[in-house]
Structure 1
Amino acid sequence: MTVSRKSRSAQNDRESRLWKVGWALGLAFAAAVVVAGGIFYGLVVLLDFKEIDSTAKLDAKTLFDLVKLSFGVVAGAGALVALVVAYRRQRVDEAGAHREATRLHTERFSQAVDKLGSDSPAVRLGGVHALAGLADDAPDDSLRQTCIDVLCAYLQLPFTSDPGGDPAHQEEHHRYLANRKVRHTILRLIGDHYRRPKGTPRSWQGCDLDLTGVTIDGDIDFTGAVFSSGQVSFNGAVGRLPMGFSLLSALPFLRRSGFLPLG
């Protein structure tokens, strides 16, 4: 998971990196000179131009044409500079907008994580849905992956089995049921997002999914979910085989991911 996350971060850095103005202008002028030279050479070849008459005198009309050509070159250079500056300004604005979106995402992320750590089951459920919504709205893949990692980390917390309906353990039983509801909501959201086609809104396909050591204590519907891309790990996970996984068709995937079906 670390390798793919680093590659996503490096890709985002490359996308937001800006060249220095001097380099950008120099390359733009060089490209313009090469293009102009190529066009001039092509015209010379097409017109079958043999040689330039060096004995011809410079009359007023020719001088005026040269002046117009000079002004045209200056105007073209100015337009080229304006184009480079406008492009750079656009990239700077895009980078600023991305930073602002990242800042807002970070603030919402902190609030959602605080909710996930609450003692109230209802607040934790709100935190789960908030993190799932943040993953959907994340401005880049690395931030989406962070939200998914937090949800997976919650599922990896130590699992406490049901103490039963004994009145002496009623409080523990209610606590188990509340935590079970939160866990099942996370698993349901994972199934919902991984069954959406890759590249469509709210799809998590292509993101890493680390369910190492997770206990699935109920019927979870993964029908139509696709885990074909990204790094997926069920290593050490135990529980019922999720719906949508027939044991025969899912056996190669289960062996690779380390899932241990109990029934």
Structure 2
Amino acid sequence: MTNPLQRRPTQDGRHTPNLWPVWLVAPGALLIVGAAAFSLYHGAELLLSSENTGNKPIKVQDVISTTVTVLTLIGAVLAALYAYRKQLLDEGTSHRADATQLTERYTKAAEQLGHEQPAVRLTGVYAMARLADYWPEQRQVCVDVLCAYLRMPYETDSTEPGFRHGEREVRFTIIRIIRSHLLDPTSITTWCGLGLDFTGATFDSGHFMAATFSGEVSFSGATFSGGEVYFSGARFSGGGFYFSGAAFSGGQVDFSVSTFSGGEVYFSGATFSGGEVDFSGSTYTSGEVSFDVSIYSGGQVSFDGSNFSGAQVNFSGSAFSGGEVSFNGSTYSGDTVSFEYLLIQPAAAIRWGPFPAIPVNQP
């Protein structure tokens, strides 16, 4: 059975105040006001009597005037409370309207991302990115949708089934938008610190130059198969960055003059089988960077001029069976780099340059 004294459950959303029924509040308010007026009248009479030093009788008009004045003040306070309550209701309505509008925009943008026409998909990309800027509470969700798009199957060969015209431009636009939101960590619309999941994605172009990666970022199992992908000048600090199992099989991937200054960066099990991967001039000052059990079977990988001065960098267990790997001009300080248990085949060309006294095992 419903309790008549129980307040109404909220029906219009979390911003709506939980109010008592009007039929219960109105009589109660009248009783309270009547009791207050009666008490004020007698209180004013007693007050005036106590202040009357003469023998003149207290005029009823004076008592009523004092009572009305006090009631007027109380009424003003109640009116202010009512106005505040009305403001809360209006704000609640506004919040609900905004939430509804943002949800509708999200749904529309998601539908556009799945459209067959590349122009419509591009519209969805821009709409989702703009929504992320206006909707901080759901910014991560919007970014997750864009990253999920990049994780979808992507056929780069126009002669193969599944190839979609205009798809490369759509994907390149997503990467460009993500990069633009990673340039300034102090911006109110920054995506620095958010999770970015590119697990298993295929990259044949894209630019992350000068981006700041400070959240959980995964390129695990990603394929860099062609074109040019730039991370040059990027900063990896304070998060977890995963390139584990990534395949660098073609094109050019540029990490030159990038900075690894904190957190953990994993290239564990990555395969370098073609193209050019450039880490030249990169700096490793703190945290942990792991290239352990990575495979170098083709292409060119350059660490020329890198500075290994503070981070723990691990190449242990890596296999060099082909291609060219160069460490020319790199600098080392302390026991910060491990090259233990390397497997080096004659076909591999490794250029160490000036090399410190770090144990290297070549079974």
Coarse TM-score class (shorter-chain normalised): 0.5 to 0.7
Q: Describe the shift of the 1:244–1:64 C-alpha distance in structure 2 as closer, same or farther (beyond 3 A).
A: farther
* Deviation by residue 1:48-80 (Cα, 9 ceiling, x = unmatched): xxxxx8995685679877655433332222222
Q: The residue matched to 1:119 in structure 2 has which SS?
A: coil
CA contact (8 A) 1:135 1:148 kept: yes
**Are 1:212 and 1:233, in contact at CA under 8 Å, matched by a contact in 2?**
no
1:249 aligns with 259
Q: What stretches of structure 1 of length at least 5 have no aligned partner?
A: 1-12, 23-52, 164-169
Cα deviation 1:181-221 (Å, max 9, x = unaligned): 22221111011123245453x43345443334434433413
Q: Identify the structure with bigger relative contact order (alpha carbons < 8 Å, sequence gap 6+).
A: 1
Call closer, same or farther: CA 1:258–1:115 in 2, change over 3 Å: farther
Which of 147, 164, 188 is the matching residue for 1:152? 147
- Letter in structure 1 aligned against 2:172: H
Indicate yes or no: 2:87 matched with 1:90.
yes
Q: Does 1:192 align with 2:164?
A: no
Counterpart Cα distance in 2 of 1:66 and 1:258 = 89
Q: Structure 2 unaligned segments of length 5 or more: list them.
A: 1-12, 22-49, 235-255, 278-363
Q: Deviations over 1:119-174 (max 9, x none)?
A: 22222112111211222233xx23333322211111122344x33xxxxxx44399
Q: What one-letter code is carried by the residue in structure 2 that aligns with 1:192?
A: S
Which one has a larger percent helix, Structure 1 or Structure 2?
1
Say if 2:142 is the partner of 1:143: no
For residue 18 of structure 1, what is the aligned residue in structure 2? 17
User: What's the C-alpha RMSD, in Å, of the aligned pairs?
Assistant: 4.1
Check 1:88–1:254 CA distance in 2 against 1; reply closer, same or farther (3 A cut): same
The Cα shift of 1:116 comes to: 0.8
Between 204-213 and 60-69, report the one with greater CA deviation. 60-69
Q: CA deviation at 1:257?
A: 10
Match of 1:214 in 2: 201
Which residue does the alignment assign to 1:32?
none
Amino acid at match of 1:112: A
1:1-263 equivalence runs, <5 A: 16=15, 18=17, 20=19, 67-138=64-135, 141-160=136-155, 162-163=156-157, 170-172=158-160, 175=163, 178-198=166-186, 200=188, 202-205=189-192, 207-223=194-210, 225-228=211-214, 231-234=215-218, 236=220, 238=222, 239=224, 242-245=231-234, 249-250=259-260, 252-253=262-263, 255=265, 263=277
Q: TM-score, normalised by structure 1?
A: 0.61
Contact 1:194 1:203 (C-alpha < 8 Å) held by counterparts: yes
TM-score (norm 2): 0.46
Specify the alignment match of 2:331 in structure 1. Answer: none
How far apart, CA to CA, are the structure 2 residues paired with 1:62 and 1:226?
80
Secondary structure of 1:78's partner?
helix
**How many residue pairs are counted as aligned between the two chains?**
209
Instruction: Say which structure is richer in strand.
Output: 2
8 Å CA contact retained: 2:232, 2:257 = no
Kept in 2: contact 1:156–1:213 (CA 8 A): yes
Contact 1:233 1:258 in 2 (8 A): no
| 1:112 CA displacement | 1.6
CA distance in 2, matches of 1:71, 1:256: 78
| Contact in 1 for aligned 2:196/2:216 (Cα 8 Å) | yes
Distance 2:204 2:263 in 1: 20
Q: Determine what percentage of the aligned residue pairs are the same residue.
A: 32
Query: Matches of 1:187 and 1:107 in 2, distance apart?
Result: 25
Q: Secondary structure at the match of 1:255?
A: strand
Provide the rounded CA distance (Å) in 2 between the counterparts of 1:182 and 1:63: 84
TM-aligned CA deviation for residue 261 of structure 1 = 9.4
CA distance in 2, matches of 1:260, 1:90: 58
Aligned partner letter, 1:236 = S
